[in-house]
Amino acid sequence: MKNLVIIFLAVFVLASCQSSSSKKGNEKSAGKSKITLTAAGATFPMPYYNMVFKEYAEESGVQLTYGGIGSGGGIRSLTDKVVDFGATDAYLDDAKLAEMPAQVVHIPTVLGAVVIAYNLSGVDNLKLSNELLEKIFMGEITKWNDPLLKSNNPGLNFPNSEITVVHRSDGSGTTNIFSDYMSKISPKWAEKVGTGKSLQWPVGMGAKGNPGVAGTIKQTESSIGYIGSEYAFAQKIQTASVQNSSGNYILPSIASVSAAAKGDIPDDTRIMLTNSSDPDAYPISGFTWIILYKEQNYNGRSKEQALETVKFLDWLESEKAQGEAEKVHYAPLPAAAVKKAKAILRSVTYEGVPLLK
């Protein structure tokens, strides 16, 4: 028996040695720097980040690790200086910026949409007006065959069942974007519930993470909730179309999300894109950002580490990286946003000297 154990262990060690110098090409870099970049933060853009981070690692030999611990975790990790950069769906407002140990800059990385997903067999192409959204998510409409729902969707057959609202139990940038939109279209919501990463929900039950909400909706007949776009698409959950500020009913798509970013963007790129004025825009869209320190010489960071960080982020803004977004149902940044992001990256310094030209 002991021999068996030894043999097994030997095989295992050999196998793992082999895969370190593996065919996946993670180390196929020609003896390049063994720099590791560590980042943590939002889960909203994770499918996109996972894909492009890996691509960059294979291309450049720099090892990248990303931990999806939530926007707040990303902010905290950056505050504690234990990561090279953080990721967040909710930008730091002036008050929070002032609390950070040093000046922090934001660069947007991709556009995403928060979709209204639901599970109601036999009911496709659901159209939800602003009034309907407000009433359903505030618990004033409790049944699917409510007259208001019927009048907004003539031709659809609604069953006489209870609406189960599903929201996030954990703090989330997705919730932030959704509630920001709701506050803009409904004064009642703005007053009673407000905007934020976690809210006191008037109705409904909570599930953890986008997958929790998506899974719950998928498994629960007569339910409705809000989730990041990729989760709805991947799990083939029914999506409702929402009314934008021009009155058009829009379904989330790459085009409609990109349209939401067509307006002006401030130089520091901190702006919420919900309820955009563009007639073709999907109104529940938003940027997601990466945050890092403007002055990169802190905590004994080497110049090389800082350089690799900005080089990577610059690559993230490139056409190549942005082009990948569509594959996973995120929208690439509009040219104006990329321009601002690149400008900001060129203002990041090491000991006062900009790292990139």
Catalogue the E-assigned strands of 181-281.
Answer: 205-207, 223-228, 238-239, 241-243, 249-250
Number of residues that bind another protein (CB under 8 A): 75
* Binding of another protein by 291 (CB under 8 A): no
Task: For residues 197 and 173, give the distance between their C-alpha atoms in angstroms, rounded to a whole number.
Answer: 6
- Please tell me the total number of residues recorded for the chain in this structure: 357
Cβ(281)–Cβ(267) below 8 Å: no
167 bridge partner residues = 206
* Binding of another protein by 51 (CB under 8 A): yes
Q: For residue 177, what are its two tokens?
A: 């974007």
* Binding of another protein by 3 (CB under 8 A): no
- Measured between its terminal Cα atoms, the distance across the chain in Å is 64
Which of 30, 98, 299, 352 lies at the binding interface for another protein (CB under 8 A)? Answer: 299
* Minimum gap (Å) between residue 199 Cβ and another protein: 6
Q: For residue 57, what are its two tokens?
A: 């690692």
* Minimum gap (Å) between residue 5 Cβ and another protein: 6
Q: Considering beta carbons, is residue 215 or 332 the nearer one to another protein? A: 215
Task: For residues 259 and 282, give the distance between their C-alpha atoms in angstroms, rounded to a whole number.
Answer: 7
CA-wise closest residue to 137 among 228, 210, 225: 225
* Binding of another protein by 283 (CB under 8 A): no
**Residues in 221-250 at the binding interface with another protein, rule: CB under 8 A:** 223, 230-231, 233-235
* Binding of another protein by 73 (CB under 8 A): yes
Which of 33, 60, 67, 263 lies at the binding interface for another protein (CB under 8 A)? Answer: 67
* Binding of another protein by 80 (CB under 8 A): yes
**Residues in 14-43 at the binding interface with another protein, rule: CB under 8 A:** 15-16, 18-20, 22, 24, 26, 36, 38, 40, 43
Catalogue the E-assigned strands of 68-211.
Answer: 85-88, 104-119, 127-128, 164-168, 205-207
Which window, 75-83, 108-116, 149-157, 256-264, contacts another protein (CB under 8 A)?
A: 75-83
Determine the 3-state secondary structure of 99 from DSSP.
Answer: helix
Q: Which amino acid is at 64?
A: L
Which of 35, 56, 62, 70 lies at the binding interface for another protein (CB under 8 A)? Answer: 70
Task: For residues 333 and 258, give the distance between their C-alpha atoms in angstroms, rounded to a whole number.
Answer: 7
Which of 29, 33, 76, 143 lies at the binding interface for another protein (CB under 8 A)? Answer: 76
* Binding of another protein by 305 (CB under 8 A): no
Which of 7, 10, 28, 65 lies at the binding interface for another protein (CB under 8 A)? Answer: 65
* Minimum gap (Å) between residue 33 Cβ and another protein: 14
Dihedral angle computed from the Cα positions of residues 349, 351, 353 and 357, in that order, rounded to the nearest 10 degrees? -40
**Residues in 92-131 at the binding interface with another protein, rule: CB under 8 A:** none
Determine the 3-state secondary structure of 64 from DSSP.
Answer: strand
**Residues in 192-221 at the binding interface with another protein, rule: CB under 8 A:** 193-194, 196-200, 205-212, 214-216, 219-220
**Residues in 159-178 at the binding interface with another protein, rule: CB under 8 A:** 164, 169-172
Q: Considering beta carbons, is residue 56 or 282 the nearer one to another protein? A: 56
